[in-house]
């Protein structure tokens, strides 16, 4: 184990690096890790906002100003007029971190053909690389975070050619070799930053990349918070993790079809996943011809909620999924259910939305491990849909259906709160799912 790895082992209370039979190493739990524990917190080395978020969030900490009328607006950089900050402290910190070296040159770079002709994903890489190089133009005097990043394994080093980056002001000019050395580690190590599961930007979190291997059936997930004029990643457990057990996170959405997951992981990350979910999925044969998903929805619901219709299953249901329901894993099924639920939950009829939504919840319990955030978010949406049905639709003189609808809203809210409380606070302070739950709960409790 290298000196860097030895140093990592000495730094953190919850995580230790150990040898792995196939990967470079693995992060294991030093002791039993319980729910609601922050396994580790990692500050970003460099970040960028997505284009749609520019001007809406602070470029330093990604904070979204409160939507109240009296909240102070973001401060625009007077030099380049292309960066925004929530306060002077964030602006000064970002200036010292990277913006000082590129502010003067950025407008010309942003309007250049070399940049504007890039595909969207390469523009993001070019901006993130510009931020990284502006703050770290050479390997000299590298801090711990940059040293960890440089120790990461490159992806396709022989073919990696960095996109055009912003010119810099200053005495230290980065060499093309050093910039390529950084870029070789981009594709397989960068993270999508999100707030309440909505993507807001991209970031480099070297320690998380170094420590945690991927699994499509992970026992931990990442969350992001704004603090200290920067973005930090927090790794949190989905369940109790035993001492010596490997801690894994998802690099991609586990709900993607198996062949898409395999393709992305092999092309972008350079490995084939051998997790329990992939090994099971590999043995399942799904025909490509059109399938009547509608006829399988009720059997899927009955299977997933066979023990209790009012509780989420305690284990992922993929391993015991009957062969007759394998076609629900067809790549078109989940997008179809999701789109149908979204349409009807907003525009009605709510009865259709609730039935399709329960089918979607059952499928989530098959493709995601227990307590995965998407399960909790969907339960919250189901609670809101049931509440909308309860408050807007006319019921017959038989009030039992009205009472059942209210009880369903309460049930889904309990499910959602149980899952999302495990995820804990993350993302924007205002308007998140935990705030929605606290608003909806008294309405449901006080209604009859």
β-bridge mates for residue 21, sequence order = none
The 10 Å Cβ neighbour count of residue 156 is 12
Name the 3-class secondary structure at 371.
Answer: coil
Identify whether the C-beta of residue 52 lies closer than 8 Å to the C-beta of residue 44: no
- What is the reported pLDDT for 142? 75
Residue 295 tokens read as 């006829």
Please give the distance of CA 282 from its chain centroid, rounded to a whole number.
25
Q: Which two tokens stand for residue 356?
A: 């399709």
Can you give the pLDDT at residue 357? 98
Residues of the chain with CATH 1.25.40: 263-445
CATH class for the region spanning 263-445: mainly alpha
- In order, the DSSP letters of 69-130 are TTSPPPEEPTTTS--EESSHHHHHHHIIIIIHHHTTTHHHHHHSHHHHTS-HHHHHHHHHHH
Q: What gap in Å lies between CA 129 and CA 183, rounded to an integer?
A: 7
Query: What is the model's pTM?
Result: 0.92
- DSSP class of residue 247 equals P
pLDDT at 3: 43
List per-block mean pLDDT (blocks of 10 residues) for the chain, which spans 448 residues: 56 90 92 96 96 96 82 91 96 95 95 96 96 88 87 77 88 84 89 95 96 96 94 97 98 94 90 90 73 85 94 94 91 94 92 96 97 98 96 75 92 97 88 91 82
Distance CA 43, CA 227 (A): 9
Q: Which two tokens stand for residue 67?
A: 């939507």
Question: Residue 10 in 3-state DSSP?
Answer: helix
DSSP string covering 146-164 = HHHHHTSPPSSTTT--PPP
Q: Which residues lie closer than 8 Å to 213 by C-beta, 6 or more apart?
A: 20, 23, 26, 27, 246, 248, 249
Q: What is the pLDDT of residue 1?
A: 46
First CA to last CA distance, the chain: 63
Distances in Å between the Cα of 78 and the Cα atoms of 75, 82, 226, 355 are 9, 9, 24, 53
């Amino acid at each position: 184990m290298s000196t860097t790895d030895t140093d990592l082992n000495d730094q953190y209370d919850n995580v230790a690096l150990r040898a792995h039979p196939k990967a470079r190493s693995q992060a294991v739990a030093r002791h039993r890790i319980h729910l609601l524990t922050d396994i580790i917190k990692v500050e970003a080395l460099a970040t960028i906002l997505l284009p749609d978020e520019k001007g809406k969030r602070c470029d330093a900490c990604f904070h979204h100003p409160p939507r109240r009328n009296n909240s102070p607006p973001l401060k625009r950089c007077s030099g380049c007029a292309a960066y925004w900050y929530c306060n002077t402290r964030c602006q000064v910190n970002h200036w010292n971190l990277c913006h000082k070296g590129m502010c003067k040159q950025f407008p010309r770079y942003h309007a250049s053909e070399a940049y504007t002709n890039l595909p969207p994903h390469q523009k993001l890489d070019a901006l993130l690389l510009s931020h990284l190089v502006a703050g770290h133009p050479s390997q000299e005097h590298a801090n711990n975070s940059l040293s960890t990043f440089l120790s990461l394994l490159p992806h396709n080093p022989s073919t990696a050619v960095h996109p055009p980056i912003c010119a810099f002001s200053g005495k230290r000019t980065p060499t093309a070799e050093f910039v390529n050395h950084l870029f070789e580690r981009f594709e397989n190590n960068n993270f999508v930053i999100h707030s309440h599961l909505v993507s807001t930007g991209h970031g480099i979190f070297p320690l998380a990349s170094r420590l945690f291997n991927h699994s499509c059936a992970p026992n931990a997930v990442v969350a992001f918070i704004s603090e200290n004029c920067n973005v930090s990643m927090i790794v949190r457990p989905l369940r109790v993790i035993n001492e010596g057990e490997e801690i894994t996170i998802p690099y991609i959405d586990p709900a993607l079809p198996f062949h898409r997951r395999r393709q992305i992981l092999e092309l972008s990350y350079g490995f084939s996943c051998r997790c329990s979910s992939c090994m099971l999925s590999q043995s399942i044969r799904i025909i490509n011809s059109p399938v009547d998903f509608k006829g399988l929805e009720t059997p899927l619901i009955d299977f997933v909620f066979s023990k209790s219709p009012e509780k989420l299953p305690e284990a992922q249901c993929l391993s015991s999924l009957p062969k007759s329901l394998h076609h629900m894993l067809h790549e078109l099924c989940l997008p179809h259910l999701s789109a149908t639920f979204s349409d009807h939950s907003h525009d009605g009829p709510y009865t259709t939305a609730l039935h399709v939504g329960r089918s979607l919840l059952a499928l989530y319990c098959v493709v995601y491990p227990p307590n995965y955030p998407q399960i909790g978010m969907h339960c919250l949406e189901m609670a809101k849909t049931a509440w909308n049905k309860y408050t807007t639709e006319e019921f017959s003189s038989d009030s039992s259906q009205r009472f059942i609808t209210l009880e369903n809203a309460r049930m889904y809210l309990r499910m959602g709160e149980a899952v999302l409380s495990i995820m804990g606070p993350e993302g924007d302070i205002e308007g998140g799912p935990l705030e929605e739950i606290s608003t909806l709960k008294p309405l449901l409790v006080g209604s009859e």
